[in-house]
Amino acid sequence: MATKRRYLPLASTRHLEKMMTKYYALSRYHRLWGKPLKRPLAWITSGAPVELLRAFNIHPVYPENYGAICGTRRVSTDLCQVAEAAGYSQDLCSYARSHIGSILRPDLAPMGGLPKPPDMLVCCTNICGTVLKWYEALARIFNVPLLVLDTPFLPGDLTAHARQYVLEQLKEMVTALERLTGRPLNRDELNRQLARSSETIRLWKEIRQLCRATPSPLNAPDLFIHMAPIVTLRGTRQAVDYYRRLKDEVKQRVQQGQGAVEGEKIRLVWDNIAIWYQIFGFFKMFSQQGACFVTDTYSGGWVMELSPGDPLESMAATYTEIFLNRSPEFRARQMIELIQDYKADGFVMHSNRSCKPYSLVQEVIRRRVMQQTGVPGLVVEADMTDQRVYAEEPIRNRVQAFLETVGGL
Ligand code: SF4
């Protein structure tokens, strides 16, 4: 029988909300004044080398982050249906469908959609192949330049050849950005951007590591909400300041023995993107029974080391080694390490209908991880933003049965 448990809110959330509101307001400002001020607006994929754009004074906006906003505000299904009516398949990623729907029907979209048109599109294939087709569609809609960074899938470790292939494209991207902005690459500024990115990543990593404490100071919804700046503001002073503040708060929780979930009894690892429209409802099924998601693979995707040295070479390696661009063996190892490091009792995988590269190999990974760690793993079928795929009762029953197995509840 579940007891009512208190969920501890983070004071930093207020600052996060203010910062993200300011970021989107600034994006509108860039749409209006970017051209005369020579500060263009780019729509960019989450795994693209944003530091390079920022070094050219280009303001980046992330349709994927916007897709997540549509999900939390529960308008994605309507926007997806708009895109589907325009001929985009229901099998496409729901971030892409929500975003395209928001362009076609801004009246249904949060904030009236992203500021448009973008001055350019920047797409990196390290997260999936879908983004390429999505951005090609955007380039056709707005008739603006599309810059593509193609990162080869890594079945094993990064090879010199793969690194060189990406490096050459980065050099071409520099030439294209010089042409589009009318200014040369400022290498000092690029180094500053990379240094701030590294600092942000280091802080995010330390915050996540603080969750090795028992009880864990954060639960998965905290990690999902507070990862927004590392995606959208990586490379900025605001992101560094924000994660310093968050780290202080999380550290204080650890020192005071405060857990995100009152009376933590079960520690779990989450795999895949959040179910945004159920971000609190879904995890409440767990937290009400004393189960806390102490870490995850999704927000952990931004803990990537930017190696020192030549900035373009460093970016070529880092952005090719993104975990979604790696083999099932790599991902299984990563999950095993998380379970061991965070002393987890089990793991839950969101089989996300939208995100094929994340979801298709999960069963292979699940079996391997269970075999090597001895902890149980549950697969829950849903979609990150399209609510039509979420079946409340079957999910609730499976979660209950899983928690009984893990914790004898
Ligand atoms: S398919 Fe997956 S990785 Fe690609 S854009 Fe959609 S959610 Fe992101």
Q: For every one of its 409 residues, what pLDDT tens digit does the chain have, with 9 covering 90 and above? A: 455 667 788 999 999 999 999 999 999 998 888 778 788 999 999 999 999 999 999 999 999 999 999 999 999 999 999 999 999 999 999 999 999 999 999 999 999 999 999 999 999 999 999 999 999 999 999 999 999 999 999 999 999 999 999 999 999 999 999 999 999 999 999 999 999 999 999 999 999 999 999 999 999 999 999 999 999 999 899 999 999 999 999 999 999 999 999 999 999 999 999 999 999 899 999 999 999 999 999 999 888 878 778 999 999 999 999 999 999 999 999 999 999 999 999 999 999 999 999 999 999 999 999 999 999 999 999 999 999 999 999 999 999 999 999 976 5
pLDDT given at position 328: 96
What is the CB neighbour count within 10 angstroms for residue 20? 17
Q: Is 109 left (phi over 0), alpha (psi -120 to 50) or beta?
A: beta
Domains of the chain, earliest start first:
11-187 (3.40.50.11890)
Distance, CA 128 to ligand 1 centroid (Å)? 6
Among protein residues, the one with the nearest Cα to ligand 1's atom 1 is: 355
Index of the ligand 1 atom closest to the CA of residue 127: 3
pLDDT given at position 2: 52
pLDDT given at position 30: 87
Dist CA 277 CA 108 (whole Å): 16
Q: What angle do the packed helices 94-104 and 63-72 form, to 10 degrees? A: 90
Index of the ligand 1 atom closest to the CA of residue 384: 7
Index of the ligand 1 atom closest to the CA of residue 273: 7
Strands 120-124 and 41-44: parallel
pLDDT given at position 409: 52
Mutation choice for ligand 1 from 91, 130, 361, CB with most ligand atoms inside 8 A: 130
Among protein residues, the one with the nearest Cα to ligand 1's atom 4 is: 128
Strands 146-149 and 266-271: unpaired
Distance, CA 355 to ligand 1 centroid (Å)? 5
Among protein residues, the one with the nearest Cα to ligand 1's atom 2 is: 355
| CA distances, 91 to each of 59, 75, 382 (Å) | 31, 18, 13
pLDDT given at position 8: 81
pLDDT given at position 408: 64
pLDDT given at position 307: 77
Dist CA 377 CA 13 (whole Å): 30
Is 95 a pocket residue for ligand 1 (Cβ < 6 Å)?
Answer: yes
Is 68 a pocket residue for ligand 1 (Cβ < 6 Å)?
Answer: no
Among protein residues, the one with the nearest Cα to ligand 1's atom 5 is: 131
Dist CA 213 CA 11 (whole Å): 20
pLDDT given at position 5: 66
According to DSSP H, which parts of 277-360 are helical? 281-287, 311-320, 328-341, 356-359
Distance, CA 127 to ligand 1 centroid (Å)? 7
Which residues sit opposite 120 in a β-bridge? Answer: 42
Distance, CA 100 to ligand 1 centroid (Å)? 14
Mutation choice for ligand 1 from 131, 298, 299, CB with most ligand atoms inside 8 A: 131
Contact 311, 188 (CB under 8 A): no
Dist CA 42 CA 118 (whole Å): 5
Could you tell me how many helices (H) and strands (E) the chain has, helices first? 17, 8
Q: What angle do the packed helices 237-255 and 187-210 form, to 10 degrees? A: 20
Burial 245-268 (b: 16+ CB within 10 A, else e): ebbebbeebbeeeebbbbebbbbb
What is the CB neighbour count within 10 angstroms for residue 311? 21
Which has the closest alpha carbon to 267: 252, 287, 240, 253?
287
Is 128 a pocket residue for ligand 1 (Cβ < 6 Å)?
Answer: yes
Q: What is the largest CA-CA distance in the chain?
A: 65
Q: Is 371 helix (H, G, I), strand (E, B) or coil?
A: helix
Dist CA 200 CA 243 (whole Å): 7
Contact 52, 315 (CB under 8 A): yes
pLDDT given at position 319: 95
Index of the ligand 1 atom closest to the CA of residue 129: 4
Contact 58, 39 (CB under 8 A): yes
Is 225 a pocket residue for ligand 1 (Cβ < 6 Å)?
Answer: no
Name the phi and psi angles at 401, rounded to 5. Answer: -65, -40
Distance, CA 96 to ligand 1 centroid (Å)? 8
Structure tokens given for 98: 């929500």
Distance, CA 315 to ligand 1 centroid (Å)? 21
Is 385 a pocket residue for ligand 1 (Cβ < 6 Å)?
Answer: no
